[in-house]
Amino acid sequence: MQVKQNLFYFPVIIIIFEIFRTRCPSYSSEHMQRLKLFSSGLSHARQITVWISIFIVLILSLLDIVGWIFNIALFKSLIPQWEPMKLITAISFIFAVSGLVIILADFPAVIRKVLPVLFAIVICFVSLITIYTRIYSFSTGHESLLSRVSFLSYFLSPANRMSLLTACNFLLSGCILILLSYDKVKAISIATILVVPVFLISYFTIVSYILGVNSFIELSHISIPLNSSIAFCSICAAVLLMRPNSWLLRPIISRDTAGMISRRLLLPLIILPIAIGWLRIQGERVGLFESEEGVVGVAIAYTICFLVLVWMTARSVNKIDIQRQTSEEALREREVQLMELNATKDKFFNIVAHDLKNPFTSLLGSSELLYENIGNLETENIRELALILNDSAKSGYAILQNLLDWSRSQTGLLKINPETVNLRNMIHENISSMQLAATNKEILMLNEVKEDFFVFTDKNMINTILRNLLSNAVKYTYKSGKVVISTTRTADEVIVSVRDTGIGIPEDNIKKLFSIETKFSMPGTGNEQGTGLGLKLSKEFVEKLGGRIWVESTEKRGSEFKFSIPITEG
């Protein structure tokens, strides 16, 4: 007999040993990884719930075993006068929990498929024999001959035999364990169906204990002890949460409106009937009202509670739906803006790529002409070709530089790095860089900023803006014309002006200058070509620095481009 009891305790040793191995920090990382308890498919919250459910079953079972060994009535049942959990029931729970742990743990496939099935077979065998002996005893009034068999008398004797409903629940639990070990969709669906009667029977028992319905509790040969019912409900919770994608749990855990509503109503639907029923029974027992009045009170209480629940849920869902609709509309609008912007950018890049061909065509043609006729050309002709090559190279470089700066700006790679800079020196440096092109057209460039003037801004961006505005001024100014740069200071900004005596801009075309959606670029007075990207880039840089840019122009008399730089403390 002692050997048989030791065999029944074998699953307890397995669980304790595996918990120690998976939880002990000194255990090798290789085994810790191999025996990782929960699969990655479970969320953290569901992992914790499954773990808690398993521990509840384990603790209740171990307490019952200790209670039977040392004859401690409190450990056998939560209240001494209530029906205790039988020893064979506790051992069967240990087998069931062992099977669940092995299915969850990352054991080799053979172990995960064989051991849970063996444990389930033991559970089903014990429950079937118990059901048979219970039914035989009810129908004949005598004990079955099986209860006298030596190795079966341990759990089939009237004192040790589990109740009929407990045996039925274990029979279903054993079948569930077998189905879960296959890990197939159909098997899991059937297992989920079998969970329902196990939970309902156990939940009914818990409600009976809470409400004090003694007529059911006192039927010890049929009813389930309270601690056994709690253990069965915990097993049901663990099974459902182990496979959250089952047909029963999928609508509840979904993120849509139906899932949210079901999660909000689930707990009240479980608790409210118990609370209202307990209040009715207590009211009748103390004589506050008769049974018929209690029925009416229960109906009214249910109606009020559910109306409040429905109203609160509808109000919450309505808020979430409004937020969701607002977010979806904003997302759709953003997608439309992004699509339009991408289409505009694609169109713009095509324009720039087409315009970029012009300086390279000039480079190729001039260099080829120079190469083929170098021996027959006069010095002046070579100088003219070299000048064309230089202008074409500068034009191509300027386009590429602007395109690179604009691309970095659009992708967020261009960062603002403000520093204290001397604005007069920056203007002077940019005039010097444009002096050769201006000299070739006999254009006079004047810097009217005579004194040092310091601003706290991004030096590279200001240089790009000045370079583009001066380049355009020289490009569109007539021979022997003039380009003048000046500044004006106000209380909170500095306004830089680039004025030329060039061809001017028609009023209808001014609004096209800074728009990326349209291309507006005219040949210069020396037939210089451009893309119009410089002004668009200048506008973007000015706005990034917190300023503004605008133009005042009269056709055939010249233009004046102005931009502002906010005055900030460095």
pLDDT digits (tens, 9 = 90+) for 135-187: 988 888 888 888 777 778 777 888 788 999 999 999 999 999 999 988 788 89
pLDDT band (50, 70, 90) for residue 21: very low
The predicted structure's pLDDT at residue 351: 56
Q: What pTM value is reported for the model?
A: 0.55
Q: Average the pLDDT over 104-127 and give the result.
A: 89
The predicted structure's pLDDT at residue 175: 96
H-only helix segments in 9-43: 10-23, 29-34
Residue pair 175/124 in contact (Cβ under 8 Å)? The answer is yes
CB within 8 Å of 73: residues ≥ 6 apart: 67, 80, 84
Q: Average the pLDDT over 502-516 and give the result.
A: 80
Q: Is it the case that residue 40 has pLDDT exceeding 60?
A: no
How far is the CA of 30 from the CAs of 38, 430, 451, in angstroms? 16, 66, 74
Other Cβ atoms less than 10 A from the Cβ of 197: the count is: 13
Q: Average the pLDDT over 287-297 and give the result.
A: 83
Q: Is it the case that residue 23 has pLDDT exceeding 90?
A: no
Neighbouring-strand partners of residue 388: none
Amino acid 530 reads G
CB within 8 Å of 49: residues ≥ 6 apart: 237, 241
Burial status of residue 378 (CB atoms within 10 A of its CB: 0-12, 13-18, 19 or more):
exposed
The predicted structure's pLDDT at residue 411: 65
The predicted structure's pLDDT at residue 330: 84
The predicted structure's pLDDT at residue 261: 78
CB within 8 Å of 118: residues ≥ 6 apart: none
**CA 55/CA 61 separation, integer angstroms:** 10
CB within 8 Å of 543: residues ≥ 6 apart: 549
Q: Average the pLDDT over 405-424 and give the result.
A: 78
**CA 408/CA 410 separation, integer angstroms:** 6
Neighbouring-strand partners of residue 205: none
Residue pair 57/63 in contact (Cβ under 8 Å)? The answer is no
Instruction: Measure the CA dihedral 120/121/123/129, to 10°.
Output: 160
The predicted structure's pLDDT at residue 568: 77
- pLDDT tens per residue across span 189-231: 899 999 999 999 999 888 888 887 766 666 667 888 999 999 9
Q: Is it the case that residue 2 has pLDDT exceeding 80?
A: no
Residue 27 is classified by DSSP as: S
- pLDDT tens per residue across span 459-486: 888 988 998 899 888 888 988 899 999 9
Residue pair 36/22 in contact (Cβ under 8 Å)? The answer is yes
Q: What share of the chain is helix, strand, coil (3-state, %, to 5)?
A: 65, 10, 25
Residue pair 472/395 in contact (Cβ under 8 Å)? The answer is no
pLDDT band (50, 70, 90) for residue 394: confident
Q: Average the pLDDT over 443-457 and give the result.
A: 89
CB within 8 Å of 143: residues ≥ 6 apart: 133, 136, 137, 158
**CA 98/CA 11 separation, integer angstroms:** 6
Report the chain's mean pLDDT, rounded to a whole number. 81
Q: Average the pLDDT over 339-351 and give the result.
A: 64
Closest CA to 261 of 333, 197, 309: 309
The predicted structure's pLDDT at residue 26: 43
The predicted structure's pLDDT at residue 569: 64
* CA atoms within a 13 Å half-sphere pointing along the CA-CB vector of 286: 6
Residue pair 6/154 in contact (Cβ under 8 Å)? The answer is no
Q: What six digits make up the tokens of 353?
A: 């790529």
* CA 300 centroid distance within chain: 43
Q: Which of 64-78, 253-267, 380-394 has the highest mean pLDDT?
A: 64-78
**CA 88/CA 85 separation, integer angstroms:** 8
**CA 278/CA 158 separation, integer angstroms:** 33
**How would you classify the pairing of strands 482-489 and 549-554?**
unpaired
Q: Is it the case that residue 491 has pLDDT exceeding 70?
A: yes
Residues belonging to the chain: 570
- Delineate the domains of the chain, giving CATH numbers in brackets: 2-253 (no CATH), 415-570 (3.30.565.10)
Give percent of the chain above pLDDT 70.
Answer: 84
Q: Is it the case that residue 4 has pLDDT exceeding 70?
A: no
* CA atoms within a 13 Å half-sphere pointing along the CA-CB vector of 441: 26
Neighbouring-strand partners of residue 560: 499, 552
Other Cβ atoms less than 10 A from the Cβ of 506: the count is: 14
